[in-house]
Amino acid sequence: MRIAITGGTGFVGGHLAVKLVRDGHEVVIVSRTASGNRAWSATKCVSADLSDAAVLAEAFAGCDAVAHCAGINREIGRQTFARVHIEGTKNVVWAARQARVKKILFMSFLRARLDCGSTYHESKWAAEEIVRASGLNYTVVKAGMVYGRGDHMLDHLSHALHTFPFFAMVGFREKSIQPLTIEDLVEVLSASLIARRLNHRTVAITGPEELYLSEAVRRVARITARKARMFPAPVWSHYLLAAFWELTMKIPLAARAQIRILSEGVVEPAPAGEALPADLAPKLRFSDEQIRKGLPEPSPFTSRDLRCCYA
């Protein structure tokens, strides 16, 4: 089969592309940072953002399905939540119709919803609604906290543990998370795209193990042989730090949208979504083996992580 992936150079899209190619499928990578020099065979790269529906339709031509994985967790200049998540999804849906694509899959967030005071959550929900109303065969996947090689979770935890003597927890009352490994997620995405499962459904997916963020930090610290000295800090202080990091870092240590996510917990979907079939339910726990597989090379944050030093 031939599958187009928006955001195909990103974390989820990239892992999905690798799996599909390994399984013998053709992949069309659509990304602002796409280039023709990819390490995968059976891959076409189209350098494009989500603003040009005609370019998207051309990229989708001949594709059996589209995996819409493109998204942002902070706003920079013209790259706003409304422009990327809402207007971009409208363009993806229009292009998929023009190209006569048979299936569209949309990657959303577990707690994306209306009227919650977060433009990130609300824009993701609006995009879900656009896909559900598209008239296409669709699957909306509301995923929780995903980790693996190239993620933000393990990558930033590791760098933070190698940089700072202390680790501030979000709020005075800890909320739970259910870390979801990228391997389990792409199995579900592949089943939807290739086996045509989960048709016309919105499904929620989290990892099989519930734990506090502090326990996740301790496990990563143990694997990286670092000390995790943790203390609680008010949520408002994290929002201030996140605003500073968004302004100064190429990839923020934490964005304001991520602070909102951690302050709520990442366990229950909102609104409630359909459960996955038993054979697709995630099985891999947040184990030492999975943590090691996802960790980057050990290093602290440096000046190269600052926006002013990034070309």
Q: What domains can you pick out in the chain, each with its CATH number?
A: 2-150+179-207+267-283 (3.40.50.720)
Place of tokens 């190429």: 250
Q: CA torsion angle for 292, 295, 297, 302 (degrees, to 10)?
A: -150
- Amino acid symbol at 175: K
Beta carbons of 110 and 274 less than 8 angstroms apart: no
Please, what's the b/e burial string for 9-45 (b: 16 or more CB within 10 A of its CB; e: otherwise)? bbbbbbbbbebbbeeebbbbbbbeebeeebeeeebbb
- Cβ density class 262-278: b for 16+ within 10 Å, e for less: bebbbbbbbeebeebee
Task: Give the residue ranges of the chain where pLDDT is below 70.
Answer: 35-42, 309-311
Specify the pLDDT at position 35. Answer: 63
Identify the pLDDT of residue 273.
76
pLDDT of residue 77: 85
Number of helices and strands in the chain (H, E)? 11, 13
d(CA 218, CA 216): 5
pLDDT score for 37: 47
